[in-house]
Amino acid sequence: MTTADRPYHHGELPEALIAAGLRLSRAGGSAALTLRAVTREAGVSATAAYRHFTDRDHLMRDTARRTRRALADTMLETIAELGTDLPPDAQAVQRLRGVGLGYIRFALDEPGWFDLAFSMPDDPSAAPSDRPGPFELLMDSLDAMVATGVLAPERRNGAEWACWGSVHGFADLVARGPLRDQERPVVDQLGRNVVESVIAGVVAGSLDGVRLRPDGSC
Amino acid sequence: MTTADRPYHHGELPEALIAAGLRLSRAGGSAALTLRAVTREAGVSATAAYRHFTDRDHLMRDTARRTRRALADTMLETIAELGTDLPPDAQAVQRLRGVGLGYIRFALDEPGWFDLAFSMPDDPSAAPSDRPGPFELLMDSLDAMVATGVLAPERRNGAEWACWGSVHGFADLVARGPLRDQERPVVDQLGRNVVESVIAGVVAGSLDGVRLRPDGSC
DNA sequence: GGGTAATGTTGACAACGTACACATCGCCAC
DNA sequence: GTGGCGATGTGTACGTTGTCAACATTACCC
C-alpha cells in the first residue's frame, strides 16, 4: 500500500509499542495491553510487533519493567518528602518507611501500572538496569538499618520478604481487593498502619520483645 | 440430535460446571477457567452455561467462592495441627498463627485455586455462607486476642488489613512472584518468619515498644 | 548498482466470549 | 390424557484475540 503518508518502516517501533503499552495499561491494567491494540495505537499492522518481540508476553514483560521503574521513582520521591536530615539510624528507618509508603502510593495513584508491574514474572535474563529497582531500594534500606544498628543482624535474613509481602499484599487489597473503593484518607491511614506494623515486626522479629514466648504462650 | 446416550437435559448442570471449573482452575489457575473448556468438560454445548450464569465472570465468581471455602478448610486444619490445649490468651495467638500459616500453605499446595480465589472481586450481594470464610477466621482470631488481653483494644482497628496484607502478599510472592521456584523448606521458613513478624508487629503496633519513637528517631 | 537481511503487510487459522434463533423436555391446567 | 408454556440445551454466527506463513518494501553494505 504505502500511501506515501507514512514511511514503510517505522524506525522506532519497539519504543513506540512500549509507549503505547504504557498508555493502554495505565488506563486498563495488564488486560488492556493487547498486541492488536498496541500495534493499532502505533499505526502499524498487527503482526509487525513480531519483528521486535517474540510474543505478547515478551512485550508485556518489557513494558512491565518500565512501570517498575516508575514505582522506584515514586519510592524515591516519597523518601525525599519524608525528610532527609536525620541521624543515620533514624534515616535508615525513614528510608524503609518511604519504600513502603511509596509502594502503596503508587498502587493507589497508578492502579493500571501497578497491576501490570507484578502480573508478569520478571525474567532474570534481562539486561540489568543502571538505576536501582524497587527491590534494590528495599534491600538497601534494610542493609542500612543493620549498618546503623537499628536492625539486629540475625534478623536481617528474610526480612525483605516480610516487608515486601506486607506492603505488596496491602497494595493488592487496595488496588483489586476488598479495600478497592474505600475513601483515600481511610486507605492512607491503614497504609501507614501497615508500614509501621511491618517495621515494628521486622525489628522485633517475634513476640519475644513483647512479653510472649515463641510458642505463643504468655 | 439426542443420541439417546445422554438425556437432553443435564439435570445438575450448574453444579457440574462449577466442578469442571474447579478441576480446570486447580491445574491452570484462573486463565484455564474458560467458558468453552468448562462446558466441554461437562459434555454440553458452549452456550448452555448461559442458562445458569449471566456470563463468564459469574461462573468464575461462584467457582472462586468454592476455592475460598477450601482455603478456610486449610486454615482450620492448620489451626488444629498446631494444637488446641493452650491457655485462652496463647490459644488466641495460636489461632492467628494458624490462619496465616494455613493461608500460605494453601497458596503453595494449590496455586491454581489460590490464583482464582483472589483474581475476582467478591460481590457483596452473594448469599452468605453457613461456614465462616477466611476473612471471618482472621477477624475471630484477632477479636479473641483482644478478649484475652493479648492485643490492646486500641490496636485492634485495621489490624486485619495489616495481617491479611502481609500474608497475602507473601503468598503472592511465592505463588507468582520472585519466590516462585524456591525450595519448599526455604519457603516454609520464610513463611514462618512473615507470620511471626506480622503478629509481633500487630501486637507492638509501632516502634514504640522497641526503643524507637514514631518519627523513626531513636 | 545489486544482493541480502531487516522490517512491515496480508491473509489465514484456532480459540475465545457471547447473541440469536431453534429444539427438546418437564410439568401444570384443563 | 393432552395441550401448551417455561425451562433448559443446541447450532450457528459474529467480532476479538494471539500467532503463523507467505509476501512486499526498504536500508545497507560489498
- What pLDDT shows up at residue B177? 86
Q: Is the pLDDT of residue A1 over 50?
A: no
Averaged pLDDT for residues A46-70: 97
Asked if the structure places residue A218 within a domain, the reply is no
The pLDDT of residue A146 is above 70: yes
What are the chain A neighbours of B199 within 8 Å (beta carbons)? 201, 206-207
B-proximal residues of A, 184-213, CB under 8 Å: 189-190, 193-194, 196-207, 209-210, 212
Residue A128, class by beta-carbon neighbours within 10 Å (0-12 exposed, 13-18 middle, 19+ buried)? exposed
Cβ contacts of residue A67 below 8 Å, gap of 6+? A22, A25, A110, A113, A114, A116, A117
Give the closest of B118, B189, B204 to A200, CB-based.
B204
A61 found inside a domain: no
Q: Residue A48 maps to which CATH number?
A: 1.10.10
pLDDT for res B210: 40
Looking at the structure, tell me whether residues B113 and B175 fall in a common domain.
Answer: yes
The protein residue nearest nucleotide C26, judged by CA to C1', is: B9
Per-residue DSSP letters for B76-114? Answer: HHHHHHH-S-S-HHHHHHHHHHHHHHHHHHHHHH-HHHH
Show residues, CB within 7 A, near nucleic chain D: A 2, 7-9, 34-37, 46-47, 50, 55-57; B 1, 8-11, 13, 44-48, 51-52
Cα–Cα distance measured from residue B165 to residue B27, given in angstroms and rounded to the nearest whole number: 25
B72 sits in which H/E element: helix B56-82
pLDDT at A126 over 50: yes
The Cα of B26 is separated from the nearest Cα of chain A by a number of Å equal to 19
User: Taking CB atoms and an 8 Å limit, are B216 and A94 in contact across chains?
Assistant: yes
At residue A205, the pLDDT reads 62
Residue B59 inside a domain? The answer is: no
Does one domain contain both B201 and B115? yes
Q: Identify the CA nearest to B67 among candidates B37, B11, B109.
A: B109
Determine whether the interchain pair B118/A212 forms a contact, defined as Cβ–Cβ distance below 8 Å.
no
Q: Considering all nucleic acid strands, name the nucleotide whose C1' atom is nearest to the C-alpha of residue B45.
A: D10
Provide the pLDDT for residue A193.
87
Contacts of residue B53, defined as CB under 8 A and 6 or more positions apart, other chains included, come to: B14, B17, B59, B62
Q: CA of B190: how far to CAs of A128, A217, B164, in Å?
A: 26, 22, 16
Buried b (16+ CB within 10 A) or exposed e, A71-92: bbebbbebbeebeeebeebbbb
Residue B184 lies in a domain: yes
Residues A80 and A158 both lie in one domain: yes
What is the structure's pLDDT at B212? 38
Domain coverage including residue B36: 1-53
Same domain, B9 and B114: no
Do both B94 and B177 map to the same domain? yes
The mean-pLDDT minimum among A64-68, A155-159, B20-24 falls in A155-159
Q: How confident is the model at residue A91 (pLDDT cuts 50, 70, 90)?
A: very high
Q: Is B4 on the interface with A (CB under 8 A)?
A: no
Does A96 reside within a domain?
yes
From the list B170, B203, B218, which residue is nearest A89 (CB)? Answer: B218
pLDDT over 50 at A50, yes or no:
yes
> What residue type is assigned to position A199 of the chain?
I
What does the DSSP 8-state code read for residue B150?
S
Which amino acid, A147? A
Contact positions of strand C to protein Cβ (< 7 A):
6-12, 15-21, 24-26
The grid coordinates listed for A194 are 501497615
Query: Which of B121, B122, B202 is facing A197, going by the closest CB pair?
Result: B202
Which three cell numbers, joined as nine digits, stand for A165?
Answer: 509481602
Asked if the structure places residue B2 within a domain, the reply is: yes
The per-residue pLDDT for B216 is 36
* CA–CA distances in Å: residue B115 to residues B95, B171, B174: 24, 10, 11
Least confident of A19-28, A144-153, B7-16: B7-16
Q: A214 Cβ partners below 8 Å, 6+ apart?
A: A206, A207, A208, B196
Residue A5: per-residue pLDDT: 58
Q: Please give the share of chain A, as a percent, with pLDDT higher than 70.
A: 89
Q: Within a domain: residue B171? A: yes
pLDDT for B79 equals: 97
Tell me the C-alpha distance between B167 and A196, whole Å: 16
Whether A32 and A44 have beta carbons less than 8 Å apart is answered as no
pLDDT of amino acid B24: 98
Higher-pLDDT residue of A97 and B203 is A97
Q: In A 148-167, which Cβ lie closer than 7 Å to strand C?
A: none
- Mean of the pLDDT values across residues A72-93? 95
- Average of per-residue pLDDT across A132-139: 95
Higher pLDDT, B158 or A110: A110
Q: Say yes or no: A84 and A174 in one domain.
A: yes
Average pLDDT over chain A, rounded to an integer: 88
User: Burial of B96 by CB count in 10 Å (0-12 exposed, 13-18 middle, 19+ buried)?
Assistant: buried
Print burial letters for B32-43: b (CB count within 10 Å at least 16), e (below 16).
bbbbebbbebbe
Q: Which residues of chain B have pLDDT under 70?
A: 1-5, 8-9, 124, 205-218
Give the count of domains, chain A: 2
pLDDT value of position B218: 33
Same domain, residue pair A34 and A89: no
Task: Please report the pLDDT score of residue B9 as a whole number.
Answer: 67
CB-based contacts of A1, cutoff 8 Å, min separation 6 = none
Each residue's pLDDT tens digit, B52-66: 999 999 999 999 999
Shared domain for B49 and B72, answered yes or no, is no
Q: Is the pLDDT of residue A152 over 60?
A: yes
Residue A122 lies in a domain: yes
Specify whether B93 is located in the same domain as B188: yes
B201 with A198: Cβ contact below 8 A: yes
| CATH code of A175's domain | 1.10.357.10
Q: Which residues of B touch A81 (CB under 8 A)?
A: none
- Is the per-residue pLDDT at A23 higher than 90? yes
A81 and A187 assigned to the same domain: yes
pLDDT at residue number A120:
85
In this structure, the answer to whether residues A84 and A175 fall within a common structural domain is: yes
Measured CA distances, B183 to A144, B29, B174, B186, B187 (Å): 28, 21, 10, 5, 6
- Restricting to A residues 82-111, those with a Cβ less than 8 Å away from any Cβ of B are 86-87, 89-91, 93-94, 97
Q: Are residues B44 and B90 in the same domain?
A: no
CA dist B96 and B144 (Å) reads: 9
